[in-house]
Structure 1
């Protein structure tokens, strides 16, 4: 399979998964709590993940899958599709529009591509390190670099984490930024960075389904992604190069 064929498949699957979740929300859903009041799951998460898993089993039977809601199949060729059927489930349940369906493809340790569909606007993003990022077939404008002092940071760091060493590290970093947003969907936040609306994503202990789809698309538009250790946790920082470098330095230097 070619990279472009994989990208077309990924975009189609995310459109279908997002459309399914959107229809199910309109029909009414109950949510269950997973790890906290802000970490929830619905039948739409499970149904959308199953749609993607079944399609990949038919169209890419040698590939593995890893899904947020439990899908886990080891492939025969080193390739793995990483699935987040509904990213931003709290927003999804609350009737807010900042949520999406997201998918990434890895080949061993290499990140190949990401695809993200935003049902509220009907737009689908796709891109990767070797695949210039686009939305609905239109190329995204390469990111314009800027310092952290002129950047808007987005995070999902909840108030219980603001104290202690983690909070201190985050405070050092965000205190150097122009402003801060917490919108509730890591993949959608990354797309706002990819379009130049926001500038840096910063969060610790990020699972692969929350990181990789957006990371691939950011790399395809000239963004950078980094991991640094600070305050005993692993921080994921992504966005425009200079601001990312400065954010990592602030996190790691008390």
Structure 2
């Protein structure tokens, strides 16, 4: 596989290679467990916000492999307790981003592994086994899909030509308001897609499969790796307080300001209530 050829540091490239190795292994584990039958282990924000046994097993594998290779690093994962570290590197993990898709046998789910220094993501990998795709990025080294360099789409300034990805909270009260915002968004853009994985939606912006993405509610582990892929491909990503939860907005740098204005006009952004 072709590697980064620009200004990425050797240390960040080492983190990228480790992220790639462990993400592939966790993805293979999740695929095996999916074939054996999905078991729901718990729920989180609502009864429909599920955690499977594969989420937990894949995160445990990621933690074990990363700490075996770099025992002084910190770890932040979706499904487990935080691990403190002393190296200055923190791993940000989502073992199965798109768990409901995984539960139903839909292909849009991914293992997301990112490495951060001082809360800045410097390396990230998003492996989507059911789609046969592997995205990766390193700070200053660009972004790739299966070794092919990625660049965002030249979306143009007309919102009516933008295809926008989004997602929804699992809390019914938040989802009701989000639905109204998306309904307004539909009147202003080409169309809206909801594929169910924040990480893959951000990678879709990077590859030009989406013109922009907005969602209220993703956590750092949802967008850490995918966000770096998008930024290194030429996108701008911002996380700001939304109405109820943090709002993640991503679009090509040239059209970001215009997209942010549309997002705000549709009712996504505003003071917390």
TM-score for both structures, normalised by structure 1? 0.90
- How many aligned residue pairs are there? 253
Residue aligning to 2:134:
124
Q: 1:215-234 to 2 correspondence within 5 Å?
A: 215-234=227-246
Greater strand fraction, Structure 1 or Structure 2: 1
Distance 2:129 2:252 in 1: 26
After TM superposition, the structure 1 stretch with the greater mean CA deviation from structure 2, 168-177 or 233-242, is: 168-177
* Cα offsets for 1:56-90 (capped at 9, x unmatched): 11111121000000141111022210000011010
Gaps of 5+ in 1: none
Corresponding residue for 2:270? none
Q: Which residue of 2 aligns with 1:188?
A: 200
Whether 1:55 aligns to 2:65 is yes
**Which residue of 194, 204, 221 maps to 2:216?**
204
Report the 3-state secondary structure (helix = DSSP H, G, I; strand = E; otherwise coil) of the residue aligned with 1:15.
helix
Mapped partners of 1:242, 1:141: distance in 2:
13
Q: Does 1:7 align with 2:19?
A: no
**Separation in 1, partners of 2:237, 2:219:** 14
Query: 1:231: Cα distance to partner?
Result: 3.3
- Give structure 2 stretches of 5+ with no counterpart: 1-9, 268-273
RMSD (Å), alpha carbons: 2.1
**Counterpart check, 1:154 vs 2:154:** no
Deviation at 1:230, TM superposition (A): 4.5
Mapped contact 2:23–2:126 kept (Cα < 8 A): yes
TM-score of the superposed pair, with normalisation by structure 2: 0.84
Say which SS state the counterpart of residue 44 (structure 1) adopts: helix
Residues of 2 paired with 1:102 and 1:74: CA distance? Answer: 20
How far has the Cα of 1:197 moved from its partner?
1.0
Match of 2:34 in 1: 25
1:80 matched to 2:114? The reply is: no
The 8 Å contact of residues 96 and 112 in structure 2, kept in 1 or not, is answered as yes
